[in-house]
Amino acid sequence: MSMRLLRLFGSREATAPVARERLQILLAHERGLLGQSDLLVTLREEILAVVSKHIQLDPDKVIVKLERGKTVSTLEVDIEVPNNFDKSKAAIERRMAG
């Protein structure tokens, strides 16, 4: 009843501030995602180029993932290396890893 009375006198709840807030949160997220996908594509290409100098790789077996956490984010690089790859190149690879 009191709500109806309030409505009658025109003090309806403004919904515009809710719209603004929802948009701000959503767009911050979407812009991040779009920016991120570009970053990931670049990272993937460059990592692939560097590793391919030493090991023959199947480009489809290179997976780069970025997970956003609250305080830190993790970059996960998953490269599948074939077992018959060049031994000398493997040595270089080990030295680099060490």
Partner 1 sequence: MAKVLVVTSGKGGVGKTTSTAALGAALAQSGQNVVVVDFDVGLRNLDLVMGAERRVVFDLINVVQGVAKLPQALIRDKRLENLWLLPASQTRDKDALTDEGVGRVIAELRSRFDWILCDSPAGIERGATLAMRYADEAVIVTNPEVSSVRDSDRIIGMLDSKTVRAERGERVEKHILITRYDPARAARGEMLNIDDILEILATPLLGIIPESQDVLKASNVGTPVTLNNAESAPARAYIDASRRLMGEEVAMVVPAERKGFMDRLLGRRAA
For residues 13 and 29, what is the distance between their CA atoms, to the nearest angstrom? 27
Q: Under the criterion CB under 8 A, does residue 3 sit at the interface with partner 1?
A: no
Least separation in angstroms between CB 24 and partner 1: 6
Residues 50-89, mask of contacts with partner 1 (x by CB under 8 A): ----------------------------------------
Least separation in angstroms between CB 35 and partner 1: 9
- Provide CB contacts within 8 A for 18, sequence distance 6+: none
For residues 62 and 76, what is the distance between their CA atoms, to the nearest angstrom? 11
For residues 82 and 51, the answer to whether their CB atoms sit within 8 Å is no
Residue ranges binding partner 1 (CB under 8 A) = 10, 12-17, 19-20, 22-24, 26-27, 30-31, 34
